Amino acid sequence: MKKTIILLAYILLASILNAGSGSATAPYWQKLETFQLTTISLTNISSENVTVFIMLKDIDGIAYDESSENGTNIEIGSNFSGDPLSNNGALLEAGKTGTLTIKDTGNLKTGYSTIEWVSNGSNIRALVGVTTHVVKGDASHDFNHMLINNGLPF
């Protein structure tokens, strides 16, 4: 019995130590009616699937609540399986890129986001990312790209 408990404790400790996780802050997002939108793009560069959690915060550090505004302000695209804004996060398979767009709907809002990931693998770093802010003009659009974590994997 004692050997069984020790073995189970060892297996539990090994699984905790082998699990990977990481976090970063995306520097900026903004939206304004039909003029501005932001997309957060995250690429899983690891060989393991990861679960991604994103929290959008306004300029005061308060969590942004899409339901406080009319219209759909968030679009989850590409390869996210699930909602990265939810408590359950979204699965992002190895080698794939997932996007989250804060759409140009409603009043001016601006802020930053925190990004976390977890994996059952032994990843030390799994994601790279970029935030793209788009300002729409009549004849053209301006694109501003901001690297998350200075472009380094996190």
Q: Is 38 domain-assigned?
A: yes
pLDDT at 10 over 60: no
The larger pLDDT score, comparing residue 47 to residue 138, is at: 47
Spatial separation of the C-alpha atoms in residues 50 and 24, rounded to whole Å:
15
Predicted TM-score of the model (pTM) = 0.82
Residues 6+ apart with CB under 8 A from 108: 30, 31, 32, 33
pLDDT tens digits, 22-63: 999 998 898 888 888 999 999 999 999 999 999 999 999 999
> Structural domain of residue 140, as residue ranges?
20-151
Q: Is 36 domain-assigned?
A: yes
Residue 51's DSSP bridge partners are 91, 118
Q: Is 8 domain-assigned?
A: no
Residue 31's DSSP bridge partners are 109
Tokens representing 73 are 């302000």
Spatial separation of the C-alpha atoms in residues 84 and 66, rounded to whole Å:
14
CATH code, domain with 46: 2.60.290
Q: Is 1 domain-assigned?
A: no
Q: Is 5 domain-assigned?
A: no
Q: Is 138 domain-assigned?
A: yes
Note the pLDDT of residue 128.
Answer: 97
Q: Is 2 domain-assigned?
A: no
Decide: helix, strand or coil at residue 122.
coil
Provide the pLDDT confidence category of residue 12 given band limits of 50, 70 and 90: very low
Q: Is 33 domain-assigned?
A: yes
Looking at the structure of the chain, the number of domains it has is: 1
